Amino acid sequence: MQKLLADIGEPLDRAIVIFCDNMSSIQLASNPVYHARTKHIEVHYHFVREKVLAGDVDLVYVSTEDQVAGIFTKALGTEKLHRFRSLLGVHCMGLSSRGSVEISSSTCADIDGGQPG
């Protein structure tokens, strides 16, 4: 992310924050001590640990209930789907699949279970 931002002329002079809902992963990435339980993890997975120790990445705990990235990784209930979608700034446009680009409020209501998008 830092390299991408630098390439487009917006260098970032602080660590990239990654929100993680797994305390074990955060502790493993933050603690450089060898653990017998983790000896099976391949070397290339230690990339995040190296970035955390170098100060390029900051892992921050967020509860699973508040992990917005869950919208991309699992099926969600309607309420959580709407909340996460709103937090991401995604809105239903209700585009017709019949060649028209007219916005249809009824299509959004169908998608949202009767709630306006």
Q: pTM of the predicted model, to two decimals?
A: 0.61
Tell me what pLDDT residue 108 has. 60
Tell me what pLDDT residue 8 has. 93
* DSSP state letter for 12: -
Secondary structure of residue 19 in the 3-state scheme: strand
Tell me what pLDDT residue 71 has. 87
Task: Kindly give the interhelix angle for 23-30 and 47-54, rounded to the nearest 10 degrees.
Answer: 70
Give phi and psi for 95, each to the nearest 5: -70, 140
Which residues in the chain come in under a pLDDT of 70? 32-45, 94-117
Tell me what pLDDT residue 36 has. 63
The domain locations on the chain are 2-65, 74-111
CB 67 within 8 A of CB 21: yes
Tell me what pLDDT residue 117 has. 47
Tell me what pLDDT residue 115 has. 54
Give the separation between CA 111 and CA 98, rounded to whole angstroms: 17
* DSSP state letter for 15: P
